[in-house]
Structure 1
Amino acid sequence: MTVLAQAAPQSQDVPDAARENLVDLIQRLSEPPEPAPIAMTPQTPGWLVLGGFFLVLVSWLLWRWLDLRRRNAYRRAALAELERAKSDPAQIAEILRRTALAAYPREQVAGLSGSPWLEFLDNCGAGVLFGETVGQELLVAPYRKDAPASVDLFNAAEQWVRKHRVEKGSPSRARFRRRQEAVT
C-alpha cells in the first residue's frame, strides 16, 4: 500500500495548469457531427410493389363505385320524382312503370298490367309486397282523377325503387350500359 500511495500524486504536488476542473473539461468538448439525413424513399422493391398494388386496388374500388353510381342513376331520379309526386297515385304508378322499364327488358315489363304487373313488382321487389289495398290502388290510380295516394302506396313504391334487384346476366344491364355509352 505504501507503493501505491507514493505513486499517486498528491494535490499539492500537481501544477496549477493540471488542476482544471470538470466544467472546464466539458466546455472544451466539441459538438458531434450531425448524422446524414434519412431517405424517405423505400429502400426495397417490396414496398414499391405493395404501393403499386394499393394504388391499383384504390383505382379499382373507385371505378366500381363510379360504375355502381352510374348504373343506379335511374333509381336516384325515380326517388326524386316520387318525392315530388307524394300524393298523386297516377304519377306514382307512372314512376314505377318507368323505373321498371329502365331496369328490366322492355319485353318483360311493357305488356304487364293488372295482377301480372303486381306479381312482377312483388317478385322483383326483394320483399316489398303490393298487397290487396296498395295493389288495387296502384292499378286504378291512372284512371282516377284527384284521388290522394295513401301513405302505404308511397312507402311501397319508394321501397320497391330502392330494393328491386336486376340479375347479373340480365340483358337490361347490357342495354343500359350501351345506352349510357351512347350518351357519353
Structure 2
Amino acid sequence: MSAATSLPLRDVHLPPIPSWWPLPLGWWLVLAALALVVLLAWAWRAHRRRQQRRWLRLFDTTVDAAQHGTAQIAAMAELLRRAARRRQPGAELLQGQAWLEFLDAPGSRAFSDGDGRLLLDGGYRRSLDAADVQRVRDLARARFLELIDRRGR
C-alpha cells in the first residue's frame, strides 16, 4: 500500500462538454428535412388555392355568360352535375329529390328544403326574382367547390 500512495497521480480531468454550435451533421439534416416539409406543404396549399380560384372563375364566367335568370339557373345545374360526376360517377344521372339530397352538404338541407329547390324547375320558368337567383348562385357556388375538390372523397 505504501507504494500506491507514493505514486504521483493527478486528478482525473473530464473532457469539455461538446458545444451546441456548430450543429452536428445529423441536426443539419433534420433541419433541412423540416424546411423541405414546410416548403412542400406551402407549395401544395398554394397550388390548391390556385386550383380553387380557377374552378370558381370557371363557375362565375359560365353563369355570367347566361343572359337571364333562367339560363343562369340552368348553367348552375349543369356545372353542379359536372362536379357531381367528378365526385361520384353516376351521380349526374340523379333526378328530382334524389338529386337535391345528393347536393345537400352533410348536415344541411339547403338544396332539398331551401333555396336550392329552384335548381329543379328554375331553368323552365318564365321569370325569376334576381334575389332568388343570387341566393341559389351563392349556394351552388359553394357546393360546386366542395364537389369538385377531390379532398372530400
TM-score (norm 2): 0.58
Structure 1 unaligned blocks of 5 or more: 1-40, 171-184
Q: Indicate yes or no: 2:133 matched with 1:153.
A: no
Q: Which secondary structure state, in structure 2, belongs to the residue aligned with residue 90 of structure 1?
A: helix
Structure 1 equivalent of residue 36 of structure 2: 56
Report the equivalent of 1:22.
none
Worse overlay, 50-59 or 73-82 = 73-82
Q: Which residue of 1 aligns with 2:5?
A: none
Q: Identity over aligned residues, as a percent? A: 24
Alignment of 1:61-140 (within 5 A): 61-65=41-45, 68-69=48-49, 72=52, 75-81=55-61, 84=64, 87=69, 88-102=72-86, 104-107=87-90, 109-122=91-104, 124=105, 127=108, 129-132=110-113, 134-140=115-121
Give per-residue Cα distances to partners, 1:72-110, cap 9 Å, x unaligned.
Answer: 4774344433662584222222222222223x1322x12
Task: Note the alpha carbon deviations across 1:33-87, whole angstroms, 9 max, x for none.
Answer: xxxxxxxx94532441233222321243145325635764774344433662584
Structure 2 gap ranges (5+): 1-20
Partner of 2:18: none
| Structure with greater helix percent | 2
Q: Given the superposition, is the C-alpha separation of residues 64 and 134 from structure 1 closer, same or farther in structure 2, using an over 3 Å criterion?
A: same
| Aligned residue among 34, 37, 45 for 2:25 | 45
Which whole-Å CA distance do the structure 1 matches of 2:150 and 2:124 have between them?
Answer: 32
Counterpart residue identity of residue 136, structure 1: R
In 2, Cα distance between equivalents of 1:58 and 1:133: 42
Alpha carbons of structure 1 residues 141 and 125: separation in structure 2 relative to 1, 3 Å: farther
Q: Tell me, in whole angstroms, the C-alpha distance in 2 between the residues paired with 1:160 and 1:118.
A: 12
| Equivalence for 1:23 | none
Aligned in 2, Cα 1:65/1:128: closer, same or farther, shift over 3 Å? farther
Q: Number of residue pairs matched?
A: 127
Q: 1:69 to 1:114 in 2, by over 3 A?
A: same
TM-score by length of 1: 0.50
